[in-house]
Amino acid sequence: MLAARLHGIRDIRLDSLPDPKEDRPPAGHVRVRIRAVGLCGSDLHYYREGRIADAIIREPTVLGHEAAGEVAAVGDGVTRLKPGDAVALEPGIPCMKCEYCQGGRQNLCSHIFFMGGPGCDGALRELLDWPEQLVEKLPGGVDFDEGAMLEPLGVALHALGLSGFRAGESVAVLGVGSIGMCVIELARASGASKMVAVEPLSLRRQKAVDLGCCRALDPARKNWREEARKTLDGGADLVVECSGNPDAIASIGTVARCGGRAVIIGIPAEDAVSFNPHIWRRSELAVYNCRRSNRTLPRCIALIRTRCVNLKKLISHRIPIKEVKEAFRLADERAEDITKMIITL
Ligand SMILES: [Zn+2]
Ligand SMILES: [Zn+2]
């Protein structure tokens, strides 16, 4: 089978890997013929830097963790799914034994097996065996592209949940990549009163406005923080940081209103980021950190089934896996033309 593997920094190759030996997956597992994989900021971190913090890619690794496809075969004991079902995948396999798993915070499991990172091949390949309980059936009328988008939507859902977001609150979204777009789409559907986005790329600023932000500011403008505050009548109730940019993180305290909250989702390329602690302290800014998502896939499916969110309009590019080298090069160099890229198989 074909698989897109990262061999080193900016070295992604379309490799031919052996097909699974058995014609059925192990007991309790589903074999999925992958049809769509979203390209994510974290895939680009591995591509550009070869690592995310201390998670270092040391051997050729199949990237991709935002995946949807079709069930090709099922193992013994699988009852919920059958061949031909269209499905989306929860990308992390937690141990279910540690205190975090037992306490319902499976995304914090230190033994988690997360697809598309060091030691765990991801979804940019034709066939993938995955535990049945981490595979969900897509509702009728939802295509594979939307199925792949449920993973970033899940991160947005987890982040808004952590932050205690309530209908009627105002939101500032820093960084309008795929997570930022999902946050805007979800916050709008959840009753955000006013939303402002901050994003350097003009196409993405336009997208933020299309999705419901009343303003999208360019951080190249010197006074963007003051303008964001003014537009949100004194600052955001909730700031959602989705860029990982150190300047954006340092600006959270200025964009939030006094007594406001922030949730950080963006992954910085740096190992240290500085901010003015006095601004955070004086406003008693509550800062949450979000790591991936925590069993949000069933709720994401409910959101898409009822069409509370529209994930289709977030996608700007669809590129077949045969052109994966070009896809990564484009995502790396020409981000200004791209809102979300889906690799198709
Ligand atoms: Zn992702
Ligand atoms: Zn665990």
Q: Hey, is 255 helix, strand or coil? A: helix
All residues with CB under 5 Å from ion ligand 1 = 40
Q: Which residues contact residue 324 at a Cβ distance below 8 angstroms, ignoring those fewer than 6 apart?
A: 4, 12, 14, 124, 343
CA distance 132 to 80: 8
Q: How many residues does the chain have?
A: 345
Quickly count: other Cβ atoms within 10 Å of residue 53's Cβ: 12
User: What is the predicted pLDDT for the residue at 54?
Assistant: 86
Instruction: Please state the domain extents for the chain.
Output: 2-137+315-344, 154-289
**Closest to 22 (Cα-Cα) out of 63, 72, 68:** 72
Residue 40 CA to ligand 1 centre (angstroms): 4
List, in sequence order, the alpha helices (H) in the chain.
Answer: 41-49, 99-102, 144-163, 178-189, 202-210, 224-231, 246-255, 277-282, 297-305, 324-333
How far the first Cα of the chain sits from its last, in Å, is 11
Residue 181 CA to ligand 1 centre (angstroms): 12
* pLDDT per residue as tens digits for the range 133-167: 999 999 999 999 999 999 999 999 999 999 999 99
User: What is the predicted pLDDT for the residue at 337?
Assistant: 85
* pLDDT per residue as tens digits for the range 18-31: 999 999 999 999 99
Tell me the CATH number for domain 2-137+315-344. 3.90.180.10
Which parts of the chain sit beneath pLDDT 70?
none
Q: How far is CA 132 from CA 31, 82, 233, in A?
A: 9, 10, 48
CA distance 169 to 263: 14
What is the number of the ligand closest to the CA of 122?
1
CA distance 259 to 313: 34
User: What is the predicted pLDDT for the residue at 41?
Assistant: 87
Residue 7 CA to ligand 1 centre (angstroms): 20
CATH top class, domain 154-289: alpha beta
CA distance 130 to 255: 42
What is the number of the ligand closest to the CA of 95?
2
What is the number of the ligand closest to the CA of 179?
1
Residue 41 CA to ligand 1 centre (angstroms): 7
User: What is the predicted pLDDT for the residue at 214?
Assistant: 98
What is the number of the ligand closest to the CA of 293?
1
Question: What is the pTM for the complete model shown?
Answer: 0.94
